Amino acid sequence: MPFAVDLFFSFRSPYSYLALHKTSRMVKDYDVDVRLRPVYPLAVRVPGFFKRADPRFARYVVRDSKRVADYEGIPFRFPRPDPIVQDMATLEVAAEQPYIHRLTRLAAAAQLDNRALAFTAAIAPVLWDGSVANWTEGDHLARAAAAAGFDLAALDAAITADPDRYEAVIADNERDHAASGHWGVPTFVFEGEPFFGQDRIDLLIWRMTQKGLTQRI
């Protein structure tokens, strides 16, 4: 039986996107099942977070995430538009959040099908790799989803018919995320131990190897 790891993921987090590449390699190379569990970004989960945070926090994330992408050779550009509707001058987060609600619920739908990692690995690059001028327009998301074996229109229709079902999945993810011992994303959790950040995947593999993790044949 493969080892099981929960991955708490947000579509707005550059580090969550950057973690997908190593995560996919880990799943390919090792006998491990990564259960990606989408959560809302801090801007939604923690109202007023960015107003209280030191302004250097966001500036550093912008600089560092680009640096990590360059180092890892990962195509990268901040999404256009931002998945969160936010006034970056006042840091006010809009009450209506059509983009992030849709993305997170879609991933929750894929989670119910036990394919959230595959779905997210297909969709996230549309936002983050810089190849799409406006990811909300046209059929960019639909084509990416189809390439991973998903019918985006069918998922959207199911969510529209019963949004509370998918919100309940997200809320459950957020409760388990909070209980894991960390609040940020990406957070990997193995046997109750949290590993925060895309730069902790090697440490996660080391820990699992201590417990008997083997490479795939």
57: CATH:
3.40.30.10
Rounded Cα distance, 206 and 217, in Å = 19
Q: What is the DSSP letter of 30?
A: B
Is 4 strand, coil or helix?
strand
Instruction: Judge whether 163 lies within some domain.
Output: yes
| pLDDT: which is higher, 200 or 53 | 200
Instruction: Judge whether 84 lies within some domain.
Output: yes
Instruction: Judge whether 215 lies within some domain.
Output: no
Report the pLDDT averaged over residues 182-194: 97
pTM (global) more than 0.75: yes
**Residue closest to 208 by CA, chosen among 13, 23, 8:** 23
- Residue 181 structural domain: 3-210
Query: What φ, ψ does residue 12 adopt, rounded to 5°?
Result: -90, -15
142-to-28, 62, 146, 156, 180 alpha-carbon distances in Å: 25, 28, 6, 10, 33
Q: Give how many domains the chain has, as a whole number.
A: 1
Instruction: Judge whether 191 lies within some domain.
Output: yes
Q: For residue 163, what pLDDT band results from cuts at 50, 70 and 90?
A: very high
Instruction: Judge whether 216 lies within some domain.
Output: no
Q: Would you say residue 161 has pLDDT above 90? A: yes
**Residue closest to 122 by CA, chosen among 146, 153, 156:** 146
Rounded Cα distance, 130 and 77, in Å = 5
Instruction: Judge whether 145 lies within some domain.
Output: yes
Q: Would you say residue 92 has pLDDT above 90? A: no
Q: What is the DSSP string of 79-136?
A: -SS-SS-EETTTTEEPS--HHHHHHHHHHHHHHHTT-HHHHHHHHHHHHHSS--S-TT
Instruction: Judge whether 185 lies within some domain.
Output: yes
Tens of pLDDT along 42-57?
989 988 888 888 889 8
Token pair belonging to 168: 């309940």
Q: Would you say residue 63 has pLDDT above 90? A: yes
**Residue closest to 99 by CA, chosen among 87, 83, 86:** 83
